Amino acid sequence: MTKIVFKNIDKPEQYKIENYIKNGGYQGLAKTLKEYKPADIIEMVKKSGLRGRGGAGFPTGLKWGFIPKDSKKPKYLCVNADESEPGTFKDREIMEKDPHISIEGAIIASYAIGANVCFYYIRGEFVLCAQRIQKAIEEAYDKGYLGKNILGSGYNLDMYLYRGAGAYICGEETALLESLEGKRGLARVKPPFPAVEGLYKSPTVVNNVETLANVPDIVLKGADWFLSIGTAKSPGTKIFSLSGHINKPGNYELDMGTPLRHLIYDLGGGIKDNRKLKAIIPGGPSVPILTEEHLDVKLDFESLVQAGTMLGSGGVIVMDETTCMVKTALILMNFFKHESCGKCTPCREGTVWLYDILYRLEHGEGKKEDIDLLLKVCENIGGRTICALGDAAIVPVQSTIKYFREEYIAHVENRGCLTPFKFQLN
Amino acid sequence: MVKINVDGKPVEVEEGQTVLQAALKLGIYCPTFCWHEKLEPIGACRICLVEIEKSPKLAVSCITKAMEGMNVHVSSPKAIDGRKGVMEMLLVNHPLDCPTCDKGGECDLQDVAYYVKNDRSRFGEPKRRFLTSARSTFDEKQIGPLMYLTMNRCIACFKCVRMLKEVAGEYDLGAFGRGVFTEIDVVKDQPITNEFSGNTVEICPVGCLTSKPFRYAVRTWLTQKKSSVCGFCSDGCNLTLWVGGDKIFRATSRKNDAVDEGWICDKGRYGYDIVNHSDRIKTPLIKKNGKLEPATWEETFDLISNKIKETKDKFGPDAFAGIGSARCSNEDNYLFQKFFRTVVGTNNIDHRVAFKRLLPSPSSSSIENLYTMTNSIEELEKTKMIVVIGCDITSEHPIIGLRIKKAVNNYATPLVLINSKKTKLNAWAKTEILPKFGTEVALINSLCNAALNQKADQGFKDWVKTYSPQKVSEITGVEANAISKLAEEISSAERCIFLLGRDVLSHPQNQELIDAVYNLAHLTGALNKPHSGVNLLWEYNNSQGALDMGVLPDRLPGLTPLNQADYLQNVEKVWQSKISTKPGFNIHQILDGIDKGEVKFLYVMEENLVSNYPDRKYAQAVLAKAAFSVVQEIFLSETAQRATVVLPAASFAEKEGTFTSVERRVQKFQRGVRPQNQSKPDWQIISMLALWMDYENFNYDSTEKISTEIFSLVPSYLGLDYKKLGNNGAQWNGFVSKKEAMTYSLKKTDLKPIQSEQGYPFILTTGNLVHHCGTLSGYSENLNLVVNESFCEMNQQDAEKLGIKTNDEIWLESASGKIKTKAKLSSNLQPGMVFVPINFKELEVNLLMDKDNLVDWIKISKV
Ligand SMILES: Cc1cc2nc3c(=O)[nH]c(=O)nc-3n(C[C@H](O)[C@H](O)[C@H](O)COP(=O)(O)O)c2cc1C
Ligand code: SF4
Ligand code: SF4
Ligand code: FES
């Protein structure tokens, strides 16, 4: 297994700039400024095939290339460190343990798109991350990696840390921009896309922390090197946040294309108490679940799509046989209804409706028709919302019904759930 | 242009327009909730879903740009199904309390549900509730003096918040919370009072925002809609009056894109209740033994006509004087002056009661003497720079204020404010200049000095050089380089509109100041360029019309001089009467005439002389001396109380006619309700009186007949057609085409420094509050819910020196009089200045004024 993002993650006090530099840090930036024009970097990242690690998997170089070259407006880079999806905690580890790798990547990206200002948007609850990033930014200024005339190149970049106020939706790129502008975090309608009209109506790139953390090594080692890792269409590595009924939860950086089974059983040490595996969410709650039969699926963008799900943010949640699927859907729906920004009707109203039905089913007040009603309501949400939260919200319902319809029926017939755990309403 | 097909019909729209706009252009209905023509689309509610061929998902038509060749289906099964789905979602948490909801019958949610035709919901869960009780209709919250919020009905279209933010720049209503618990609300303890708040009630698609005066007053389908025009300020907003029987239930906007774009201010929206006020004069009144007693119309006409004959026989026509009104219609004013010029035979008429120093009467032939707006409200969007001088725009001209904000927001037009005090609009200004009161002329001269070019001859140059920025800086308190910089900005502006308001019109050097601005406009080219020019903003709904109709001692209708022979002939022919060419008394001469006993007979039409004349004691004294006075009024004003005969007049809502707005727009208004009690429209009273005296030439059975006479006689109104005035009105504009070729000769406008008065350290300034207009709106109980009390605004430091705090009772005292009010400390006023609103009759601010002193000096002490 290759390590790119996590190559130094466990080195002592790697978060300090002197250690980061000692371990080879900021050489990618030095090389960038010395040897490449911005367009070269974009070309290189395009060629490397790097795709966004924030959930949507959009080709990173392509996104940078959308920034209009001739615009007189300022350009911005925003680092998306709002990581709030249940079961995803990779950016957090990067920021806490090796903050500079993301900052270096952000500086290179800013240079590539011609930005002189970069905002690092961190989830409000991530206190240690914010401290580490703040310190790291200050250190980078001190060492001349940020500020005026970086490393004598004539390139200027200011970086600001911005702490969110506690909303999952602010990880959605346009809501993030609204929030940065000091407004309520509501998603914007696209188009216009941020590359055309982003922060303060200016061309803007929003990139995930992990995405950017890949950039220094791509510059240092070249696109071909990156292409040699992972699969042809999903090159490189991906950090998977493993959680749930698993013996060794944690973050694992794997080459793209590694089988799911290897992650769960070899690295994760298998299911807790040797219970039977029931379901896996492979990429955060926004993606459809998999079951035991899918254990040999490869973890990369294409293979997961083929298996009817998605790579998403890489949050792998493992559930054993004691897990109730209706309750799982209920818990996830509780999350989505709570986090829906409320701007568009189907998501705002639909998530609560789904939640209400699931709640009844789980608490023994379900009717048989409710199962089809759930699917109908999902249909009424999917594809009709402003942002992907609405599309995501229906996924747990649809996919649990797809694989575990009989469990829903059992909830109706048994007048409730058979597992003892009672879900706390909030 | 882009060509697309909607439901199989081809349509062309401009690049950048949306699919929805294309459908609307074809007359194809597509429901919307969050979309509003004048607001940025946000694509939130999703009810406007349509199908676009080759696109996998349904498209949100209000934000999807039309692209060449698109095939759009509003009525395809897929599109219909999509909208059904959204509608079902919208109703999930809506209380469906239609039977007890005020919006019933005019609710977009009802209408779209009806259109979508889905009579069944699959939703069987308890509905969301914002307040704890299970009831819904009455789970309401008062969020301002005039507004209620019934949050359970909200469909989160955000139009209310967006309108205030985008159009008015107000933030007193906001969205709080998230998801299904998104709440519209005010900040705790900060009720919504901004002057445009009522628009949110109007555009709320459901019964979430309601107004206190209208809620539960009537079902809308039991009312009739009447097209009206606002009777307060001169901006001329178009209104719809909702009437039932003899009562006006509410006023809403009646969109006129040239004027108001569908927004109206709260005084126009809520001030209609003056019409049904119980204090209206009920019958004619005749003074007997010092007391006004009810009388019949016949008795009063007998009395007045006999008195006219008697006085005319004994003392001749110049023993008469008439005061017309900037509030009355063109038809009222036209007949009024016609009555005086023909039946009586005098030119002793005027209407400019509030001005100490009268400007020369306007002329319609040259732009510089027009004394009007020479541009239009719409042109504010097209100009490249706006310079406001001496005007609290937001309070005096709210809708012009909105256009200025739009110009600043949408077109980044630089706004310059030259005011001796800070106003609400200052937040939008690129440049704010705060000259000391009374030094404005020097400031403008100095701008001319800095903007000098070959247009000025040597004489002017030498003279204006004495106004160097350094010297003027000392006089005005404005920094020298701010003056030079501003002159540079104005000179280099491609187009520039100057707006001169109340504080210029009533300025001690009003004429010099206007001329100085003309000099500046001439030097910088603004006089001749399109979408540029100098504009005087008159105050009241028909100030312009009263001028145009010739309610002036030296002007016939159309601002024609009395001695213009060809016109005079024409008028004499139509009026079948000889007309005196001797200029009459102006307002001050009229009062002096009464004082001296020369004027025996005074006729006042809807003008509250006592409270508006800038010398209350004098006005009162003079009225007491008048041998005979007739006052035609809506309320028993201080002036009416002193009359020999009082005639009950109908308000704007009880008659039809035309008003001419600040931008010379002649607009027709319909009668809303029958005249209350025994009142009659002013024109009708005059016509009946003249007929009573056998003047057959006054046989008008409708306003249309008068308007037609005006439109065939008054030069600037020629060609207007009463029937065709339609919904948008028409501007008289003859001079505009001549603008480019116009010549102008620079005038030397010297500063005359104002003289201070020993022992009276403060300069008194007055004006309108944003929720009021003149003393008329003080009768509006609705508006009084927002502000109903007068005050004296004064500079913070001044107040501190006197140990005065906000809400302290204070005496204001001048050499003429003394009044008591409350203090309001403010940083908007410069030291040495105070501001008192003129809107409340309880505070007789003109007691402090002396007609012979151009500046009113006062002293202040704590009670
Ligand atoms: C509801 C929602 C929440 C999201 N949250 C995050 C997040 O916390 N972090 C993140 O990087 N991307 C998040 N995204 C994805 C972003 O919108 C965006 O695609 C991403 O930041 C782009 O970066 P990348 O191209 O580097 O992946 C979220 C998307 C949605 C719809
Ligand atoms: S889909 Fe949900 S989260 Fe996204 S804009 Fe709509 S309401 Fe907001
Ligand atoms: S209160 Fe009315 S206008 Fe405002 S968001 Fe709710 S429904 Fe829309
Ligand atoms: S009207 Fe188009 S989304 Fe609301």
Check residue A422 and give its pLDDT: 53
Per-residue confidence band for A110, with pLDDT thresholds at 50, 70 and 90: very high
CA A367, A373, A376: angle at the middle one, nearest 5?
Answer: 170
When the pLDDT of each residue in chain B is averaged and rounded to a whole number, the result is 95
Is B411 in the A-facing interface, judged by CB distances under 8 Å?
Answer: no
CA distance B89 to chain A (A): 6
pLDDT at A423 over 80: no
Position B227 scores a pLDDT of 96
- Residue of chain B with shortest Cα separation from A337: B179
Pairwise CB contact (< 8 Å): B156 & A383:
no
pLDDT value for B133? 47
Burial of A69 per CB tally in 10 Å (0-12, 13-18, 19+): exposed
Work out the average pLDDT over B239-243: 97
Give A129's pLDDT tier (boundaries 50, 70, 90): very high
Number of A to B CB contacts under 8 A, please give it. 94
- Residue from the list A338, A357, A385 with its beta carbon closest to the beta carbon of B179: A338
Ligand 4 centroid, distance to B157 Cα (angstroms): 8
With CA atoms as reference, the chain B residue closest to A352 would be B180
- What is the band of B188 on the pLDDT scale with cuts at 50, 70, 90? confident
> For B234, how many CA atoms within 13 A lie in the half-sphere containing its CB?
27
* Residue A420 in this model has a pLDDT that exceeds 70: no
User: Ligand 4 center to residue B93 CA distance, Å?
Assistant: 18
Which residue's CA is the nearest one to ligand 4's atom 1? B32
Residue numbers in A near B82 (CB within 8 A) = 384
Domain with CATH 3.40.50.740 in chain B: 285-360+544-715
Q: Which chain B residue is nearest to residue A340, measuring alpha carbons?
A: B179
Q: Is A348 close to B43, i.e. CB distance below 8 A?
A: no
- Report d(CA A111, CA B571) in Å as an integer: 79
Which of B158, B162, B196 maximizes ligand 3 atoms within 8 Å of its Cβ, making it the mutation to test the pocket? B158
Ligand nearest to the CA of B141: 3
Contact B502, B537 (CB under 8 A): yes
**In this predicted structure, what is the pLDDT of residue B746?**
95
Whether B303 shows a pLDDT value over 50: the answer reads: yes
Cα(B54) to centroid(ligand 4), Å: 21
Arithmetic mean of pLDDT, B546-561 = 96
CATH architecture assigned to B2-92: Roll (3.10)
**Of A306-320, B91-105, B123-137, B160-174, where does mean pLDDT reach its minimum?**
B123-137
Q: What is the 3-state secondary structure (H, E, C) of B132-195?
A: CCCCCCCCCEEEECCEEECHHHCCCCCHHHHHHHHHHCCCCCEEECCHHHCEEECCCCCCCCCC
pLDDT for position B134: 43
Q: What is the pLDDT of residue B54?
A: 94
Instruction: Enumerate the β-bridge partners of residue B209.
Output: B149
Q: Which residues pair with A9 in a beta bridge?
A: none
**In the structure, what pLDDT confidence band is assigned to residue A425 with cuts at 50, 70 and 90?**
very low
Residue A319 has pLDDT above 50, yes or no: yes
User: Which residue spans of chain B are classified as CATH 3.40.228.10?
Assistant: 373-536
pLDDT digits 0-9 by tens, B361-410: 998 777 888 899 999 999 999 999 999 999 999 999 999 999 999 999 99
B556 three-state secondary structure: strand
pLDDT tens-digit readout, B198-207: 999 999 999 9
Instruction: List the end-to-end C-alpha distance of chain A, in Å, as a whole number.
Output: 42
Lowest mean pLDDT among A164-168, B458-462, B737-741: B737-741
Q: Is A231 in the pocket of ligand 2 (CB under 6 A)?
A: no
Cβ separation B43–A344 shorter than 8 A = yes
The predicted model scores a pTM of 0.94
Q: Is B547 in the pocket of ligand 3 (CB under 6 A)?
A: no
Say whether pLDDT at B135 is over 50.
Answer: no
Residues 125-144 of B with CB under 8 A from A: 125-126, 128
User: B60, A189: Cβ pair inside 8 Å?
Assistant: yes
Q: What are phi and psi of A184, to 5 degrees?
A: -65, 145
Q: Which of B43, B86, B93 sits opposite A346 (nearest CB)?
A: B86
- Candidate of B160, B161, B183 to mutate for ligand 3, largest count of ligand atoms within 8 Å of Cβ: B160
Residue B645 in contact with ligand 4 by CB distance below 6 A: no
* Residues in chain B closer than 8 A to A351 (CB atoms): 179-180
- Which ligand is in closest contact with the Cα of B42? 4
CA of A325: how far to CAs of A222, A420, B145, in Å?
A: 45, 13, 52
> Which chain B residue has its CA at the smallest distance from A358's CA?
B125
Q: What are phi and psi of B294, to 5 degrees?
A: -60, 145
Question: A290, A282 in Cβ contact below 8 A?
Answer: yes
Query: What is the structure's pLDDT at B364?
Result: 76
Residue of B63, B122, B180 lying closest to A349 (CB–CB): B180
Quote the CA–CA distance of A64 and A75 in Å, as a whole number.
11
Judging contacts by C-beta atoms under 8 Å, the chain A residues touching residue B178 are: 167, 169, 338-342
- How does strand B762-767 pair with strand B833-837? parallel
**Ligand 2 pocket member A188 (CB < 6 A):** no
User: What is the least distance, in Å, from the CA of B12 to any CA of chain A?
Assistant: 22
Q: With pLDDT > 90 as the criterion, what percentage of chain A qualifies?
A: 96
**Predicted confidence band of residue B140 (pLDDT cuts 50, 70, 90):** confident
Q: Which residues 6+ apart lie within 8 Å of A235 measured at CB?
A: A48, A49, A50, A226, A227, A228, A229, A256
Instruction: Tell whether ligand 3 has an atom less than 6 A from the beta carbon of residue B109.
Output: no
pLDDT of residue B726: 78
Using the mean position of ligand 1's atoms as its centre, give its distance from the Cα of residue A383 in Å. 18
Q: Nearest by CB to A184, which of B86, B175, B181?
A: B175
Class of domain B762-862: mainly beta
Q: From CA A136, how far away is CA A160, in angstroms rounded?
A: 11
Q: Cβ contact (<8 Å) for A360 and B122?
A: no
**Segments of chain B assigned to CATH 2.40.40.20:** 762-862
- Domains annotated for chain A, with CATH where assigned, are 17-227 (3.40.50.11540), 237-320 (3.10.20.600), 325-413 (1.20.1440.230)
ipTM of the complex: 0.93
- Return the pLDDT at B137: 54
Contact: A339, B178; criterion CB under 8 Å: yes
Q: Give B-chain residues touching A349 at CB under 8 angstroms.
A: 89-90, 92-93, 180
In angstroms, the Cα distances linking A85 to A184, A315, A368, A395, B666 are 19, 8, 31, 14, 62
What is the Cα–Cα distance from B122 to A378, expressed in whole angstroms? 13
Most confident range, picked from A92-106, B85-99, B113-127, B772-786: A92-106
pLDDT in the model for residue A81: 98
**CB–CB of B180 and A346 under 8 A?**
no
Q: How far out from the chain centre does Cα A148 lie?
A: 32
Q: Which fold has domain B285-360+544-715?
A: Rossmann fold (3.40.50)
Instruction: Render pLDDT for B471-530 as a digit per residue (tens, 0 to 9).
Output: 999 999 999 999 999 999 999 999 999 999 999 999 999 999 999 999 999 999 999 899
User: In this structure, are strands B224-229 and B857-862 parallel, antiparallel, or unpaired?
Assistant: unpaired
Minimum-distance ligand to the CA of A385? 2
User: Quick one: pLDDT at residue B674?
Assistant: 96
Residue A394: pLDDT over 60 = yes
Strand-strand pairing, B59-60 and B645-648 = unpaired
Answer yes or no: is the C-beta of B154 below 6 A from any ligand 3 atom: yes
Q: B148 CB under 6 A from ligand 3? A: no
Of B384-398, B615-629, B717-731, the one with minimum mean pLDDT is B717-731
Q: What proportion of chain B, given as a percentage, has pLDDT over 90?
A: 93
Mean pLDDT in residue range A53-68: 97
What pLDDT shows up at residue A171?
97
| Superfamily of B373-536 according to CATH | Dimethylsulfoxide Reductase, domain 2 (3.40.228.10)
Give tens-digit pLDDT for A169-212: 999 999 999 999 999 999 999 999 999 999 999 999 999 999 99
Structure tokens at B529: 């360029």
CA separation for the pair B409, B406 (Å, rounded): 5
Report pLDDT for B724. Answer: 85
Pick from A352, A360, A386: CB nearest B180: A352
Question: Are the Cβ atoms of A343 and B93 closer than 8 angstroms?
Answer: no
Can you tell me which atom of ligand 1 is nearest the CA of A173?
17
- Helical spans, DSSP H, in A255-344: 260-261, 301-306, 325-339
* List of E strands, B246-381: 247-253, 285-288, 291-294, 320-323, 349-350
Which of A183, A190, A349, A376 to mutate: most B Cβ within 10 Å?
A349
Quick check: A346 and B178 CB within 8 A? no
Query: Nearest by CB to B43, which of A189, A377, A383?
Result: A189
